[in-house]
Amino acid sequence: MQRVTEHLLFSVSFFLLYVFVSCFPFSLVFSLSLSLFSLLVAVQLKSSITSMSKASFLREYKIVIVGGGGVGKSALTIQFIQSHFVDEYDPTIEDSYRKQCVIDDETALLDVLDTAGQEEYSAMREQYMRNGEGFVLVYSITSRLSFEEVNTFYQQIRRVKDRDSFPMVLVGNKCDLEGDRQVSSQEGRDLAKSFGCPFSETSAKQRIRVDDTFYEVVREIRRMNKEQEGRSKGGQREAFEMSDTRNDGCCGCILM
């Protein structure tokens, strides 16, 4: 559409130039030609700046991975970022990763923070929760204890964020170890429903639904941001309408 507009402007310019040359003095023609040339340059410059702005803007999403020790938080993160599986367990204190993705036709930069699951790092974890936009709550389907710990992490995020809802996905990891399962899929779905968030079972080892998990967190962030913007606009509109109603009852006239 933009190119069509530019071509149209060029065509109109040349046509007008031809008409003016035929009918008006040279000085007037020169002045008008200069004005048209300036207009065309301005249109082209605006087009270039708009294209550069769109290319340079990259929305960053801060995602925090939370869960008990040994549930596979680091394995999930590294599988997503680096596309390989880390077999040995090395307790994490804090690791940060970044990856650029296209999610629903929109480019995003994911800043993923892998946190420690141990209780002694609770204070440090709260700082990460405070700065995080979206959360992946992870338990292992082979550990009943890790499933029970999820609610503790959820309540901690609620307290730190000081709100009941926030962008989050509940994940039951190690779904490739079906023979060692201690937590049913239905239990996971029920817990996610009580949290009001999406649920999935993943395998970092076999790369099952790994990418989808992180993409879904970004979608949740986008969805909640849009809802928040809608509420803000609705509140402003309501306040404006109330102001108009109050003003209707007043008279701005002074009787002389």
pLDDT of residue 2: 52
**Closest among 30, 50, 39, 53 to 8, alpha carbons compared:** 39
Q: Please give the residue range of the domain that contains residue 40.
A: 2-53
- Give the DSSP H/E element, type plus range, for residue 168: strand 168-173
pLDDT tens readout for residues 144-200: 999 999 999 999 999 999 998 999 999 999 999 999 999 999 999 999 999 999 999
**pTM of the entire structure?**
0.69
Domain count, the chain: 2
Q: What are the b/e assignments for 143-168, b being 16+ CB within 10 Å?
A: beebbebbeebbeebeebeeeeebbb
**Percent above pLDDT 90 for the chain:** 55
pLDDT of residue 49: 53
Residue 151 within any structural domain of the chain: yes
Complete DSSP assignment for 108-161: EEEEEEEE--SGGGHHHHHHHHHH-SEEEEEEETT-HHHHHHHHHHHHHHHHHH
Q: Which residues pair with 100 in a beta bridge?
A: 109
Q: How far apart are CA 134 and CA 2, in angstroms?
A: 37
- Give the DSSP H/E element, type plus range, for residue 91: none
pLDDT tens readout for residues 22-66: 665 656 656 666 666 666 666 566 655 554 444 457 999 999 999
Residue 27 within any structural domain of the chain: yes
Q: Is 207 helix (H, G, I), strand (E, B) or coil?
A: coil
pLDDT tens readout for residues 87-105: 877 666 678 999 999 999 9
Provide mean pLDDT across the span 235-241.
Answer: 57
Assigned token pair, 6: 């530019």
Residue 170 within any structural domain of the chain: yes
Residue 116 within any structural domain of the chain: yes
pLDDT of residue 54: 47
- CATH of residue 69's domain is 3.40.50.300
Q: Are residues 77 and 49 in the same domain?
A: no
- Looking from the CA of 24 toward its CB, the CA atoms found within 13 Å total 12
- Give the DSSP H/E element, type plus range, for residue 73: helix 73-82
Q: Give yes or no for a contact between 71 and 171, defined as CB atoms under 8 angstroms apart.
A: no
Residue 243 within any structural domain of the chain: no
